[in-house]
């Protein structure tokens, strides 16, 4: 198993910087639906699922026509015959035609569910641990480790890259972008050394609630 994990990681590293020669070879060995399904296959170890997460990015997300969406702080508008003759950038609809829309949509939906589940875990634990406890007791509580998870870290990295490549917009899932930010705020506010503070912060701000539907 360790050898297999190292081999998968090696394949993922080979594909860095859009190495298309290796991409053509590895696509035959690792079909897109197989790679994506292993990310949320709970029968596998977290480390192995995490490696499949990296492979999914380098093999099926980090490639043309997807490119980072650069949002300038300042722009200058000017006329140029040279620029006017350059080919225009692909639109979202044109990009969609060359992407595996179905599998990417399923991947995005399942990654969002994992983030939502992590948020629900933290929310429910804080409620069970802190609700009804006096202020002098709540400050000495110790919480569980929810964020020491290599798979979750890689999932957030993959979602971040997908957002940077504008995949949310291309797949017509802009609502997921706002949901991701909302859930991550709750998750990153959690402090295992002071769960009581996390609970008080959430309840005081009036945003402490359980599951939210998409």
Residue 207 maps to a domain: yes
Residue 72 lies in a domain: no
**How many other CB atoms are there within 10 angstroms of residue 27's CB atom?**
13
**Domain assignment of residue 57, yes or no:** no
Q: By residue range, what is the domain housing residue 204?
A: 94-214
Is residue 139 in a domain?
Answer: yes
pLDDT of residue 54: 93
pLDDT in tens, 51-76: 999 999 999 998 888 888 766 655 55
In a domain, 113, yes or no: yes
- The number of distinct structural domains making up the chain is 1
Decide if 212 is inside a domain. Answer: yes
The pLDDT tens digits for 173-198 are 999 998 999 899 888 888 777 777 77
What region does 30 belong to: left with phi over 0, alpha with psi -120 to 50, or beta? beta
Mean pLDDT rounded to a whole number for the chain:
80
Domain contains 167: yes
With respect to residue 25, please indicate whether it lies within any of the assigned structural domains.
no
Percent of the chain with pLDDT over 70: 77
């Amino acid at each position: 198993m360790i050898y297999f994990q190292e081999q998968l990681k090696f394949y993922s590293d080979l594909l860095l910087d859009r190495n298309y020669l290796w991409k053509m070879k590895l696509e035959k060995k690792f079909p897109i639906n197989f790679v994506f399904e292993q990310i949320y296959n709970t029968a596998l170890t977290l480390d192995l699922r995490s490696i499949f997460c990296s492979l999914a990015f380098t093999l099926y997300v980090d490639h043309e026509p997807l490119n980072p969406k650069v949002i300038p702080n300042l722009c200058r508008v000017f006329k140029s015959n040279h620029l006017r003759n350059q080919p225009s950038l692909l639109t979202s609809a044109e990009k969609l035609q060359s992407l595996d829309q179905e599998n990417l949509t399923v991947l995005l939906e399942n990654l969002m569910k994992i983030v939502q589940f992590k948020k629900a875990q933290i929310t429910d634990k804080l409620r069970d641990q802190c609700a009804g406890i006096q202020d002098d007791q709540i400050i000495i509580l110790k919480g569980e480790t929810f964020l020491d998870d290599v798979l979750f870290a890689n999932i957030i990295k993959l979602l971040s890259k997908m957002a940077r490549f504008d995949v949310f917009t291309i797949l017509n899932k802009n609502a997921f972008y706002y949901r991701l930010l909302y859930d991550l705020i709750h998750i990153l506010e959690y402090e295992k050394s002071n769960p009581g503070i996390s609970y008080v912060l959430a309840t005081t701000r009036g945003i402490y609630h359980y599951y939210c539907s998409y």
